[in-house]
Amino acid sequence: MAELKETLLERREVFRGRVLTLFLDRVRLPDGREATREVLRHPGAVAVVAQRDDGRVVLVRQFRHAVGQELLELPAGKLGPGEDPLDCARRELEEETGYRAGRWERLGSFLTSPGFTDEIMHLFLARELVPGWHRPDDDEFLEVVEADPAELLRTGGILDGKSILGLLLLGRS
């Protein structure tokens, strides 16, 4: 098997924000040469496929500044320091949609873009939904939307990767 590993030689923090930290790393390549790598540290996140008893899923529509448009997405949020992903999923589902769930399952975890970031996304399936307390974060403005998951996939109205992935995994669960 080929030697593929890169070794970190030097790390320089070029930006530390509220959410993201960006590093410029110098690495040694497997053949001994050097290269630079731009690396974005992310705290990780969760997303929830919340399915009602009638089969419809609960989504949120929100404006995403990074892409300059409104997107329809699964309820989701970033992990707090040391936070358990399931606790985070429960919190985000209730804050963003007003639902609590009686039954939780893990759908899996994936890396969103491992070429430049360590962001990991944990996907959960939430069922047996009951009303909770709806209270979005201070700087979150969103609209709750309920829709048929097969229809959402068929019409292609979802651009967000984690949401497409979650709905595809729901179809296989």
Kindly list the residues in this chain that would bind a copy of itself in the complex (CB under 8 A). Answer: 1-6, 8, 14-15, 17-20, 22, 24-25, 27, 29-31, 33, 35-40, 42, 45, 61-68, 70-71, 73, 76, 78, 108-119, 121, 139, 141-143, 156, 159-162, 164-165, 168-169, 172
Cβ nearer to a copy of itself, comparing 28 with 100 = 28
Q: Quick one: 59 exposed, middle or buried, by C-beta within 10 A (0-12, 13-18, 19+)?
A: buried
Greatest Cα pair distance, the chain, in angstroms, is: 59
Q: Find, among 19, 155, 172, 153, the residue nearest to 74 by Cα.
A: 153
Beta-bridge partner residues of 22: 15, 40
Cβ nearer to a copy of itself, comparing 109 with 128 = 109
Provide the minimum distance between the beta carbon of 53 and a copy of itself in the complex, in angstroms, as a whole number: 25
Q: Read off the DSSP letter of residue 96.
A: H
Cβ nearer to a copy of itself, comparing 70 with 87 = 70
